[in-house]
Amino acid sequence: MPVGLPEFVENPENRCPVLLLLDTSGSMAGEPIQELNRGIAAFKEDILKDTKASLSVEVAIITFGPVRLIQDFATIDQFTPPRLEASGKTPIGEAIDCALDRLEARKETYKANGIQYYRPWVFLITDGSPTDTCWPLAAQRVREDEAKRRLCFFAVGVKDADMNTLRQIAPHERPPVLLNGLDFRSLFVWLSTSMKRVSSDKIGVAVALPPVGWGQITS
Amino acid sequence: MDWKAIARSATGMSHKKQQLPCQDYGDFSISHKGILGAVADGAGSAKHSDVGAKLTVKTALNELLQLRSYTWQLHWYAQPLSDQQARKIFANTLKKVVEALQKQAVSGGYSINDLACTLLVFLATPNWVAAMQIGDGFIVARLQEGEHQLLFPPDKGEFINETTFVTSANALNEMQVRVLPGQQKFICASTDGLERVAIRMSDWTPFPPFFQPLEEYMVETSHPEQEDEYIRNFLDSERLNAKTDDDKTLLLCFYDDSKVK
């Protein structure tokens, strides 16, 4: 006697959140900000090539300063790469606080809707040093969250970035990386490749990330 | 009548693409009124997790089989095991599994973590089922006249790509154990490859239209292990592969009491 086939329940896609924390202070004016814009556009293009990643990866962008959420979490198809302009100071501490708050809020939304998610990534890119005084507290928060495995925090310095301070912000196990020149494109293609790997992986806490070909790890 | 059962695994598309073996394994053992079942899902990040999953399942079943001749029979028709008894039995199962994995790791010249896998085990009589779970995957049971129920809440870390393995330091603490009394009808154990299509994740309830046809198939077939085409075709179907690229395993058990006088 023929038997019917199992039907499938519709569950929402797993989400793979990545938050870009971008320095748009005055010193980024000119070529740096243009290359950063191109890099973000390349990120979108590259994620779109991968069906699973484009359904899973969600991007948010916070720029500083002043600190502004210019793109709330959205899947790649809903995401329009911004045209960033440079002006203002470098309130890194305030920006990190804003990012971590936003991330926690996003997780609550996921939980409330039964959406499963991967460990979020926060990507800080800066060419300066903090102009606010709260950055040590923010750095502590980063390290605590990282230790509790609430997120993966990456710090990237551009050109004359204050790598000493970045080293105090970035978690020990993941020291800051100094970008090769203004090669944002390679950085974002790497980020996209990493996101594809993360979003296609199921179990296994340690996803082997592609080699960092776009910068130097300074220790 | 008696228990009927079938266990089948299929390699996920992502593993096929990377030319990796199927890292899932499932098996069972029926003896008159009792059934033992186990499934394991080898960790994607562990080098020899296919070996680990198979060894884990075989060891768990062997250990429980030995146990059965002593303790288990006492409880056969009568009362269900207490939670404490079940926990003790499964803790011992885990211990033996870890010993076997350690031995394998030594003889293979690699770390025990290279054999990391999840483990779900149950032992069932017509009147109760006792089960354990380490890591993700699911066991769904339906009592006579009952609805499908998920035996354990999912063991996910906060994030989807985190789970516990039998080789984890905290495996014993994270081991979930449950005894479900009542007239058994249908049990389905599976690795997490099928989770997304079988379980509604917003409230972790089994999706009956997924399980009903599987149960119906178990009703219809008298020798599921020989008549496995339905299950194999389903596990390899494009329709399913479009939904999951992971290895997937089905261990189905059905207690047929239709001819009992």
* pLDDT of res. A203: 37
**What is the separation of C-alpha A40 from the centre of its chain, rounded to a whole number of angstroms?**
11
* pLDDT of res. A205: 45
Stronger pLDDT, A42 or B209, i.e. the higher one: B209
* pLDDT of res. B180: 94
Stronger pLDDT, B160 or A166, i.e. the higher one: A166
Residues 6+ away with beta carbon under 8 Å from A205:
B45, B161, B162
* pLDDT of res. A218: 58
Question: Of the ranges A47-61, A77-91, B131-145, B149-163, which one carries the lowest mean pLDDT score?
Answer: B149-163
End-to-end CA distance of chain B: 10
End-to-end CA distance of chain A: 69
Q: Which of A202, A205, A209 is the best mutation test for B, with the most CBs of B within 10 A?
A: A202
Q: Where are the domains of chain A?
A: 16-122+136-201
ipTM value for the complex: 0.86
Check CB contact under 8 Å for A201 and B209.
no
pLDDT by 10-residue block (mean), chain B, 261 residues: 91 85 94 89 89 97 80 64 92 97 96 95 92 95 94 75 85 94 94 92 92 95 90 94 91 84 39
Which member of A5, A117, A206 has the closest CB to residue B159?
A: A117
Options 1.10.357.10, 3.90.1170.50, 3.40.50.410, 3.40.50.920; CATH for A16-122+136-201 is: 3.40.50.410
Check CB contact under 8 Å for A9 and B216.
no
Show which residues on chain A lie within 8 Å of chain B, measured between beta carbons.
Answer: 1, 3-9, 11-12, 14, 52, 107, 113-119, 149-150, 198, 200-207
* pLDDT of res. B61: 96
Q: What is the pTM of this model?
A: 0.78
- Confidence band for A52, pLDDT divided at 50, 70 and 90: confident
- Confidence band for A116, pLDDT divided at 50, 70 and 90: confident
Does any domain span residue B52? yes
> What angle separates helix A135-147 from helix A92-112, to the nearest 10 degrees?
40
Check CB contact under 8 Å for A12 and B217.
no
Instruction: Give the model confidence (pLDDT) of A129-149 as tens digits.
Output: 889 899 999 999 999 998 888
CA distances from A26 to A6, A158, B62 (A): 59, 14, 69
Check CB contact under 8 Å for A119 and B211.
no
Check CB contact under 8 Å for A8 and B243.
yes
Hey, what are B203's tokens?
């409230």
* pLDDT of res. B150: 97
Say whether the peptide bond before residue A26 is cis (omega within 30 degrees of 0). Answer: no
Does any domain span residue B260? no
B45 CB neighbours in chain A (<8 A) are 203-207
pLDDT of residue A36 exceeding 80, the answer is: yes
Q: Which of A117, A148, A197, A203 is the best mutation test for B, with the most CBs of B within 10 A?
A: A203
- CATH at B248: 3.60.40.10
Range of the domain at B234: 3-255
Question: How far apart are alpha carbons A129 and A91 in whole angstroms?
Answer: 9
Question: How far apart are alpha carbons A104 and A122 in whole angstroms?
Answer: 12
Work out the minimum CA distance from A116 to partner chain B, whole angstroms. 6
Does any domain span residue B23? yes
Q: What is the DSSP string of B228-240?
A: -HHHHHHHT-HHH
pLDDT of residue A188 exceeding 70, the answer is: yes
Does any domain span residue B31? yes
Does any domain span residue B250? yes
What's the total number of domains in chain B? 1
What is the dihedral angle through the alpha carbons of B3, B9, B10, B15, rounded to the nearest 10 degrees?
160
Does any domain span residue B261? no
Show which residues on chain B lie within 8 Å of chain A, measured between beta carbons.
Answer: 14, 41, 43-46, 118, 135-136, 156-163, 192, 196-203, 207, 209-214, 216-217, 220, 230, 234, 237, 239-240, 243, 245-246
Question: Of the ranges A2-11, A181-190, B58-67, which one carries the lowest mean pLDDT score?
Answer: A181-190
pLDDT of residue A192 exceeding 80, the answer is: no
